[in-house]
Amino acid sequence: MRFFENVAKQIFNDEGIPILEGHVAYSPEEAMSVCSEMDIPVVVKAQVLTGGRGKAGGVKFANNPGEALKVAEEILGMEIKGEKVKHLLIEEKADILNEFFVTVSVDRGARRPVILASKDGGVEIENLAKTNPEKIIKYYPNPLLEFLPYEAREIARKMEVPSELISPMGDIIWKLYNVFTKYDADTAEINPLVLTPKGLIAADAKMVVENDSLFRHQDLVDRLHYKKKAVDFVQLDGDIAVIGNGAGLTLTAMDMIKLNGGEPATFLDIGGGASEHIINQALNIVLNYDPVKVVFLNVLGGITKADDVARGVIKALEQADRKVHIVIRLTGTNEEEGQRLLEEAGIPFETSMEKAAKKAVELCEELKAEGK
């Protein structure tokens, strides 16, 4: 069984192999939402059970959440070697100084595990094997004995990496071999293993586990499930971003916009009990979504506290590098404190949803009339 890159990376990381911060996304909207929480730029990667994604256009970069949405749209649904892309891995983009290659697999002919490594990693490794096979170091650890750290360093030395990399490279090779034996793998591969200013990092990960041994690795199978993000985001055709707490309230807010002749650009439900952080994340998403002219934030505090919402709004607007007009309706739990905070920050608000929706549509009309 082959694991997706995102799962393989988690497994490698558990053994101490460095990886980049990354999150999974199943839709362009989710890619955007994930990106809004990360350091940019990011790399958006198709998750399929085959290699060669880079060459097939399944690995792209994005400099902001809006771009992440666009490239995610391009990659999702794409076919790579006959496999449809259904999800993505969004990762912090590595600043690559050098690309290496390390793999542990089984040499069927020799009937033992083999480690292959090269200082010329990346997407051209198959060609390298044909044109310059001597550049690929081959090492057969004794499967009946422990694989020792000095053997791994010996491989690094033969790879002719700079001397200061011999120890960290050896460490990663040693850990990769341990992953391979621990999980009864057929293949555990890092290509490319990249050198960045932060050190060596696994920028790609491939792991194939022998099917007949999967029963011993229920923990691996459990990993195939992933945690959903807190924000529920749907992209629509209009220009007024609608954000609400709870699906019902958000839908009502959308209806109100429509009733007043406006067109929603998003359905974005921040859920019950939304924290300051989630409000900030939601606003980051819509502030970076190009079609949005006006944001309509409709919050009726229950478990969600109005003062937390106000703090999230203030923070997001302070950090936003694009000016977007926002209409806020804020009532409910802790409303006095929330409204006071907004007043202090000079951000206007409404307490009636009807009024606020009407205002948002009028504002949007004005902006369009001014050609903005």
Closest separation in Å from C-beta 50 to ligand GDP:
7
Q: Is 151 in the site for Mn ion (CB under 5 A)?
A: no
217 is an interface residue for ligand GDP by CB under 6 A: no
Closest CA to 187 of 159, 164, 209: 209
- Which range of residues in 48-56, 246-254, 295-303, 329-337 is near ligand GDP by CB under 6 A? 48-56
Tell me if 99 contacts Mn ion by CB under 5 A. Answer: no
153 membership: H or E segment, kind and range:
helix 149-158
First to last CA, the chain: 53
* C-beta closer to Mn ion: residue 191 or 281: 191
User: Does 192 sit near ligand GDP (CB under 6 A)?
Assistant: yes
Task: List the structure tokens of 265.
Answer: 């650009």
What is the footprint of Mn ion within residues 182-241 (CB under 5 A)? Answer: 191, 204
Tokens of 239: 């220009």
**Which of 92-100, 166-174, 180-188, 255-263 is the region at the interface with ligand GDP (rule: CB under 6 A)?**
92-100
Please enumerate, by residue number, every residue annotated as part of a binding site for ATP: 45, 52-54, 91, 94, 99
- Smallest gap from Cβ 271 to Mn ion, in A, equals 36
Decide if 298 contacts 329 (C-beta within 8 A). Answer: yes
- Answer left, alpha or beta for residue 223, where phi above 0 means left and psi between -120 and 50 means alpha: alpha
β-strands 22-25, 88-92 pairing: antiparallel
Q: What is the DSSP letter of 350?
A: B
Contact flags string 25-44 toward ligand GDP, x per CB under 6 A: ------------------x-
Please, which of residues 98-127 interact with ligand GDP by CB under 6 A?
99, 122-123
Residue 203 contacts which entry, Mn ion, ligand GDP, none (Cβ below 5-8 A, type-dependent) = ligand GDP
* Residue pointed to by tokens 């690929």: 136
**Residues 29, 204, 276, 350: which binds ligand GDP (CB under 6 A)?**
204
Query: Closest separation between CB of residue 198 and ligand GDP, Å?
Result: 12
User: Does residue 192 have a cis bond before it (omega within 30 degrees)?
Assistant: yes
DSSP for 94-117? P--SEEEEEEEEEETTTTEEEEEE
Q: Does residue 143 interact with ligand GDP by CB under 6 A?
A: no
Distance CA 27, CA 172 (A): 33
Which residues form the interface with ligand GDP (CB under 6 A)?
Answer: 43, 45, 51-54, 59, 91, 93-94, 96, 99, 122-123, 191-192, 203-204
Which residues form the interface with Mn ion (CB under 5 A)?
Answer: 191, 204
